[in-house]
Amino acid sequence: MSIAVSLDSVSKTYNQRLVVDNLSFEIKVGEIFGLLGPNGAGKSTTIRMLTTLTQPSAGRIEIFGYDVVREPILAKRQIGVVLQQVSVDGDLTVWENMEFHGRLHHIPNPQRQQRIRQWLEYVELSDRRNDLVKTLSGGMKRRLQIARALLHQPQILFLDEPTVGLDPQTRRRLWEIIRDLNTQGMTILLTTHYMDEVEYLCGNFGNQVGGRIGIMDNGQLRSLGTLQQLRSIYGEGLVMKQTGERWEYKFFPTLAEANQYLNEQPDKTGMMSRPANLEDIFVELTGRKLD
């Protein structure tokens, strides 16, 4: 099967308010997919529907061929979830958290013990296996959540704001783990408020093609493509002009054309040119920055 996730005309209504509006897209097996959107865009509701926590009001969602409404248990077996909120038990040790999760998934021994050792080593927590989770740093807790989410060998990993509130060094280490999982073939859906995170994880790297980025606003998918495709659509060059306290943006197909336009202006006061980035495209589509 080449399609990991399929959304077909999916909508969700809460209290007569449409929060997800006719959403359709697919995620390929082995792809890393970044879902962006300001608060209230509908991406959290989309994740809740994908992970079977809430049912769509209309449309169809499949996870590796399993309908999330008609076959929720089979769909759940395919997914691992790492939430923004810390969801590991602070009063249990690192090993006990993994052991409890493994038993919930009915992973038999000695396979369960072997997998726990494998994933704790992968996220560099083997030496903390007997420590209470409440003694760990925020980054360690997040790495433990990733290890726990992978214990039952899911087909796809959902990462909801995985590095929020972490220091830059810890964020970078988590990026390396996420990227390595993807290069090993893990399908990943990522939501984040950090543009540099999406550019790093979904951009081209090494021999990898890179992932795609979906930008949501007001419950709708505004744009979808690779980072390079989005730059090609909206422009790779940008001229900025300061007007009062605001900046006006003008896109150009290339940086050379942006530079040429700037050089032709008789008055360059408050103007500058530079390469366009993902945040520029996001602001162009939604009219606001991520909160």
Fold of 3-224: Rossmann fold (3.40.50)
As a whole number of angstroms, the distance between CA 50 and CA 38 comes to 19
Q: How far is CA 46 from the centre of its chain?
A: 12
Hunting for tokens 């790492």 — which residue is that?
A: 82
Closest CA to 260 of 242, 284, 239: 239
Closest CA to 127 of 139, 140, 114: 140
Q: What confidence category does residue 179 fall into, taking pLDDT thresholds of 50, 70 and 90?
A: very high
- What's the average model confidence in pLDDT over 276-290? 82
pLDDT digits (tens, 9 = 90+) for 234-248: 999 999 999 888 888
Average pLDDT, the chain: 91
Q: Is the pLDDT of residue 10 over 50?
A: yes
Note whether 142 and 82 are within 8 A (CB). yes
pTM of the model: 0.87
Structure confidence at residue 175 (pLDDT):
93
Closest CA to 227 of 218, 236, 217: 236
The angle at the Cα of 254, spanning 249 to 258, to the nearest 5 degrees, equals 45
Q: Is the pLDDT of residue 192 over 50?
A: yes
Q: Please give the C-alpha separations between residue 95 and each of 71, 153, 174, 271, in angstroms, as whole numbers.
A: 31, 17, 20, 57
Sign, Cα dihedral of 250, 255, 258, 263: positive
Altogether, the residues listed in the chain come to a count of 291
As a whole number of angstroms, the distance between CA 157 and CA 247 comes to 38
- What's the average model confidence in pLDDT over 107-120? 95
Q: Where are the domains of the chain?
A: 3-224, 236-275
Closest CA to 147 of 192, 98, 76, 190: 98
Structure confidence at residue 286 (pLDDT):
84
Both tokens of residue 93? 């040790």
Structure confidence at residue 205 (pLDDT):
56
**Residue 64 has what DSSP assignment?**
T
Structure confidence at residue 244 (pLDDT):
85
pLDDT digits (tens, 9 = 90+) for 23-75: 999 999 999 999 998 888 898 899 999 999 999 999 999 999 999 999 999 99
